[in-house]
Structure 1
Amino acid sequence: MQQEKQLTNKKRKWELPHTYALLSFMIVLAALSTYFLTAGSFDRVEKNGRTILVEGSYQAVESSPITPFEILQAIPLGMEDSAQIIFYIFLIGGTFGVITKTGAIDAAVYALVNRLKNNGVLLIPIIMIAFSIPGATIGLSEEVIIFVPIGIAVAKALGYDSITGMSMLNLGAVCGFVGGMLNPFTVGVAQSIAEVPLFSGISFRLIIYVIFLITAIALVMSYAIKVKKDPSYSYLADLPKQDSIASSNTEQIVFTRKHAFVLLTVVAGFTLNVVGIFQWGWYLTEMTGTFLAIGLVAGIIGGLRINGTFDAFTNGMKDVVYGALIVGFARAILVVMEQGQVLDTIVYQLSEMISKIPGTFAVVGMFFVQLFINFFIPSGSGQAATTMPIMTPLSDLLDIQRQVAVLAFQYGDGVMSTINPTNGVLMACLALAGIPYTRWIKYIWKLVVLWIIIAIVGLLAAVWFGIS
């Protein structure tokens, strides 16, 4: 009997709810709020191409509670409202699937490792910078998972441990996400909702990105050097060795001329997008068209032929289904609050609460709100779609630049992703590397605290210097 109870308790072990379940719960919660919150609205005006709230115009209106059937309808309506962003994510995912299938990325990584493995410590900043760049430009995230065994194999071959190997890849990409100069999934989505020029404020983001990257590199290099000098320093020293992960042969893949042409195609495509954005006023549609061209040309050059290219393209889209549709579910929360006329009430109450924080420090409150929300919505694009419709008018009411509201989201999302247990990418990397979550926290917490301080200082500087 005792054994049966123990088995039952194991079966009933609490698990974190699925992200879609959390979003669905938030949709229901938003609907219930229409029964308890006072319905209200602000007057809105068009100014310089932006829709802004008129300060002091909030007033109560007739209540419009949401019915159960309207809750169900909110999800497809959310999908419709965010269709452009959803398909943008799908098509970029397809393009990346083609590029990955050509083997160009794998070959480039192997070539770099084999060229520099005799100067092991130099590989840490090189690899972290290399992974941070696509993190800052194309939102490299889930794709990091496939490189974890390579990173760990390299780290162990150089006398380091699995934490070092994973950190080189994961933290490098996260630094890019935090910087996010051209990240379409975070900055692109957030800025489009906030109605600020796409990828504006790039110079300020670049400065903060470099600071985040330098601190991360310093942590990983310091830790790696100590582990190599004394293996007992490793946070994994008392765990069983994982030789199976370290057995990857970094000389298996040869970087060929075909791979070089694929990567040149990618670079040329990204360059065209950057020029298009800043010189010709391109937006999501034009950028998506360029990504499609990159995928088609890369597939043909990479030897996938027509059928193989589109097979890889559809597989790439499958890989981003989880993150793409989150945007629609998140938008459904906004649909419910708008139909129930409580969105403006929430904005008003938040503005009243945050406005009590002295002066420009109100942006710090916005940052910590984003940190908290990331636990429930670990998807960067999903968090942007959920929070920016609220934070945008809130920033107007608090006389904070909308660009700074985007930065508060961006830094909250990026910093939290390093420790968030609901972040699927982080947990997948830890599982593949054999690193217990508690050991990772023990290793990373100091960097997280430092990054929070850097983010706060950066946000205050953005307010003081009027970044827009």
Structure 2
Amino acid sequence: MFRGDEVSRDKKQIFPHTYAFLFSILLIAWVATYFITPGEFQRVINKETGQTAVVEGTYRIIDSNPTHIFDVFKAIPLGMEDAAKIIFYIFIVGGVFGIIRATGVIEAGIDRLMARMAGRERLLVPGFMVLFSVGGFSFGMAEETIIFVPIGIAIARAAGFDAVTGTAMITLGAASGFIGGMMNPFTVGVAQEIAEVPLFTGFFFRLCVYIVILAIGMWYVSRYAFKVKKDPSNSVIFDLEKKDDGAADIPPIRDRHYLVFSVVGIGLVINMYGVMKWEWFLTELTASFIVIGVIAGVVGKLSFNKIFDAFVEGAKAMTFGALMVGFARAILIVLEEGHVVDTIIYSMANLIQGMPKTYTAIGMFFVQSLLNFFIPAGPAQAATTMPIMVPVSDLTGMSRQVAVLAFQYGDAITNSIIPTSSALMGYLAVAGIPYERWVRFVWKLILVWMVVAIIALIVAAMIGLR
């Protein structure tokens, strides 16, 4: 993992320190509360689903209530408090991975895998991306990728790639599926329910777009990976990348390692089942990982003291990045306390009213992409914006299914680059990749994905997708 102080000492760095970048956005948000007219929508709670939805046509201007400078600093601990579940999830995941790694199973397993993959490294990136994309389109895999990132990084480094490749083949794989969203209950399911569109209709159209998105993602990450393998200086984190310690420290694989593999594998399967069938989320997943870590340490023949020493060391490595999640959440708190988020939503919705349906679809996509910065949680964004976007689509004669698509792509694509995404900040924390370095790597892919989404929306609007 990388240390935060290494980032701050990088004299060649063009971008500001990650925390300086986030704090600058926080200050901009604070200044915006003095210039943006405050307003609010009425909201109602759906008794059946428990979702809070905006009542269309109820926006009203309210008295100005700009936040004060001290509120900016208060927003940081409030952001930590508000994002506590994801922050502690990151710490726990790091601690559990520390226990698993202390058993020697990671190094031994990677050594065995790379021996089998010799000469076939080109299959690594596509294979992992396809695998994790299934989790993305089936149950909205996002924060759940965090536990897999250290494993992906270790495998990537063993293949001669870098930490960015290992992170990307896990997280951008899941993101590709999340964008596809064919069976994602948290975005497509919620949006279709609000729009009164039959659940998971438009499956084949979404499947076709997903295949294109995934193929582009695999090509992009693979191309970067082999550029790094050919010349390590091509890595966006070349100056920070952990050097290969050599094979001398790799232990031979033993029976206890197979037991640890089994514990981790069974635990992850239970977690996936829990997410899909028992509605598990961060609290349950965090508790489950603690169980996995303790059992893995015991079967890996670590003493109790060693188990918790390893846990603390693993958690410590997460500190620099885990706290970024709270800083990112502070930005939203300042905007919410200034009562300007609803004004931003209302203004953006007005911009696209009266456009031809093709342009309306594209306008909705850009509006949702911008709003995703302020409301990065998919279900919350759907509940906030779909009650507004559905009447707009009806007025222009555009299919409601297309409005759902515009939300889906607007919500999903930018999740891999916006600093207010808790999933992004979470896996960058685990990987130890500075946010600005990740942006340098991923921005071109995001632009290409956005072009694909725009083309898909134009086609969907033209054929009247239902």
TM-score between both structures, scaled by the size of structure 1: 0.67
Q: Distance in 1 between matches of 2:37 and 2:445?
A: 42
Pairing partner for 1:320 from 318, 332, 337: 318
Given that 1:39 and 1:340 are in contact with CA atoms closer than 8 Å, whether structure 2 keeps it comes out as yes
Pairing partner for 1:172 from 169, 172, 187: 169
Change in 2 beyond 3 A, CA 1:356/1:312: farther
Q: What is the CA-CA distance between 1:330 and the residue it aligns to? A: 2.4
Change in 2 beyond 3 A, CA 1:86/1:124: closer
Counterpart position of 1:150:
158
Q: Distance in 2 between matches of 1:254 and 1:224?
A: 28
Given that 1:43 and 1:58 are in contact with CA atoms closer than 8 Å, whether structure 2 keeps it comes out as yes
Counterpart position of 1:156:
none
* Matched AA of 1:172: M
Counterpart position of 1:111:
112
5 Å-filtered alignment, 1:270-349, equals: 270-349=268-347
Unmatched segments (≥5 aa) in structure 1: 1-10, 153-161, 237-243, 374-381, 431-436
Given that 1:141 and 1:425 are in contact with CA atoms closer than 8 Å, whether structure 2 keeps it comes out as no
Change in 2 beyond 3 A, CA 1:74/1:168: closer
Counterpart position of 2:411:
409
Q: Distance in 1 between matches of 2:222 and 2:315?
A: 36
Is 1:138 aligned to 2:156, yes or no?
Answer: no
* Matched AA of 1:393: T
Given that 1:38 and 1:345 are in contact with CA atoms closer than 8 Å, whether structure 2 keeps it comes out as yes
Q: What is the CA-CA distance between 1:147 and the residue it aligns to? A: 4.7
Percent sequence identity is: 32
Q: CA RMSD in A?
A: 5.1
Q: Distance in 2 between matches of 1:12 and 1:227?
A: 22
Counterpart position of 1:102:
103
Is 1:396 aligned to 2:387, yes or no?
Answer: yes
Q: Distance in 2 between matches of 1:454 and 1:369?
A: 17
Question: Matched residue of 1:45: which SS?
Answer: strand
Q: Distance in 1 between matches of 2:432 and 2:444?
A: 22
Q: Distance in 2 between matches of 1:26 and 1:168?
A: 28
Given that 2:41 and 2:342 are in contact with CA atoms closer than 8 Å, whether structure 1 keeps it comes out as yes
Q: What is the CA-CA distance between 1:46 and the residue it aligns to? A: 0.8
Unmatched segments (≥5 aa) in structure 2: 1-9, 235-241, 391-399
Change in 2 beyond 3 A, CA 1:81/1:126: closer
Q: What is the CA-CA distance between 1:37 and the residue it aligns to? A: 1.9
Counterpart position of 2:5:
none
Q: What is the CA-CA distance between 1:18 and the residue it aligns to? A: 2.4
Pairing partner for 2:349 from 351, 360, 367: 351
* Matched AA of 1:272: I
Given that 2:345 and 2:371 are in contact with CA atoms closer than 8 Å, whether structure 1 keeps it comes out as no
Counterpart position of 1:5:
none
Q: What is the CA-CA distance between 1:52 and the residue it aligns to? A: 1.2
Change in 2 beyond 3 A, CA 1:310/1:176: farther
Q: Distance in 2 between matches of 1:352 and 1:216?
A: 34
Change in 2 beyond 3 A, CA 1:111/1:92: same
Q: Distance in 2 between matches of 1:428 and 1:121?
A: 25
Q: Distance in 2 between matches of 1:222 and 1:327?
A: 30
Q: Distance in 2 between matches of 1:166 and 1:84?
A: 25
Counterpart position of 2:35:
36
Q: What is the CA-CA distance between 1:50 and the residue it aligns to? A: 1.0
Question: Matched residue of 1:361: which SS?
Answer: helix
Change in 2 beyond 3 A, CA 1:331/1:175: closer
Q: Distance in 2 between matches of 1:461 and 1:287?
A: 39
Q: What is the CA-CA distance between 1:173 and the residue it aligns to? A: 2.2
* Matched AA of 2:319: V
Counterpart position of 1:159:
none
5 Å-filtered alignment, 1:49-448, equals: 49-119=50-120, 121-122=122-123, 125-126=126-127, 137-139=144-146, 140-141=148-149, 144-152=152-160, 169-179=166-176, 211-218=212-219, 248-249=246-247, 252-355=250-353, 358-366=359-367, 368-369=369-370, 384=376, 393-399=384-390, 405=407, 407-414=409-416
Q: What is the CA-CA distance between 1:407 and the residue it aligns to? A: 4.8
Q: What is the CA-CA distance between 1:58 and the residue it aligns to? A: 0.8
1:51-96 C-alpha deviation (Å, 9 max, x unpaired): 1111111111111122222222222222223323332333233223
Q: What is the CA-CA distance between 1:262 and the residue it aligns to? A: 1.6
Counterpart position of 2:7:
none
Change in 2 beyond 3 A, CA 1:291/1:59: same
Counterpart position of 1:7:
none
Change in 2 beyond 3 A, CA 1:224/1:413: closer
Question: Matched residue of 1:71: which SS?
Answer: helix
Q: What is the CA-CA distance between 1:171 and the residue it aligns to? A: 3.9
1:257-306 C-alpha deviation (Å, 9 max, x unpaired): 22222222122122222222333333332222212211111121222222
Counterpart position of 2:23:
24
Q: Distance in 2 between matches of 1:14 and 1:223?
A: 20
Q: Distance in 1 between matches of 2:120 and 2:322?
A: 40
* Matched AA of 2:145: I
1:175-212 C-alpha deviation (Å, 9 max, x unpaired): 32413669xxxx99999x99x99xx97x8998866654
Q: What is the CA-CA distance between 1:142 and the residue it aligns to? A: 6.0
